[in-house]
Each structure stands twice: as structure tokens, then as C-alpha cells.
Amino acid sequence: MRNRHSLPSLTAACAALIIVWAALLSAPALADQTRSAVPGGEVHLAGPFKAGQPVKAVFDLKGYALPAGAYTAVNVEFPVRPEGAKPKVRPGYPETVMTFAEPGTYRVLILLNQISKGSCGGVSAKPLIEATLDIEITP
């Protein structure tokens, strides 16, 4: 037999979840965040923040050394950027170089992974640094 009071409480719980979910979606994204698997690990942007000039993303792993046979992989995305040409990226470690063709506000997502391959096949990726940085490029 079904409890008559379970439907209203379920509806109220669903409504509360929808309100919380909507509030989270409407909240502005937090910028300039860095998460690191290496204690104190960080990435910062350096260089003239001008259109056409190289900007470096410099990784600092605070003395962490990659294990023998491991290497790094860098992924860079631009979820917020002005109209026009997408920035050029030359990924690398300890520096990744980006060139922005258009002036404006950019949000840069940077992921530095440690990549290793076992002797039996397969690949393992360990995130070392995940960063969200905002940058203003001038003309």
C-alpha cells in the first residue's frame, strides 16, 4: 500500500534540488583557480599581454621530478574568448607558449598530465595541475 504522504514530500525534495541546481548554474564561474596533485604546484602566465605577442604559461612543480619513463602532456582550451582567430598554442613543459591574435578577455583552461605506459600496454595519465586563468589581452 502506498503512503499518501510520500508524494508531497518527494515533490518538495525535487523542488529543493531544482532550486539548488539552478542556483549553482547561475553562479559565476570562479576564475584563477589551480588544483595540483603536487603540493604547492602552480602555473602562472608571463609576458606582454598584447595581441600578437607570445604569453608563457610557466609550470612550477616545486621540485617534483617525473618518474623514469614518464613524460608530460599539456592541454589548453579557451572556453571564453573574443570573436576571431583562436589563439595559437605550442604546448610544452615547463613552459607552454600561447599567442593571442585578438585583443579581449580570455579564460584559459590548462591541464598538465603525467603520462606513463606500462610494459603490458595501456597508458596511465595522472593530472598534475589543473588551472583556470583569466587574462586580458590588449591591442
**Could you tell me if residue 120 is inside a domain?**
yes
Is 19 a member of any domain?
no
Q: Report pLDDT for 80.
A: 97
* Cα pseudo-dihedral 115, 86, 105, 35, rounded to 10: -10
pLDDT < 50 regions, the chain: 6-7, 10, 13-30
Is the Cβ–Cβ distance between 112 and 74 less than 8 Å? yes
> What's the pLDDT tens digit per position in 55-82?
999 999 999 999 998 999 999 999 999 9
Domain count along the chain: 1
Q: Is 44 within the bounds of a domain?
A: yes
Judge whether 6 lies within some domain: no
Is residue 82 in some structural domain? Answer: yes
Q: What is the pLDDT of residue 8?
A: 52
Q: What is the pLDDT of residue 32?
A: 73
Q: Dihedral of CA 6/7/9/15: which sign?
A: positive
pTM over 0.75: no
Q: Let me know if residue 22 belongs to a domain.
A: no
Has residue 7 been placed in a domain?
no
Is 10 contained in some domain?
no
pLDDT at 27: 36
Alpha carbons 138 and 8: distance in angstroms, whole number = 56
pLDDT of residue 53: 97
CATH number of the domain that residue 71 is part of: 2.60.40
- pLDDT for res 15: 46
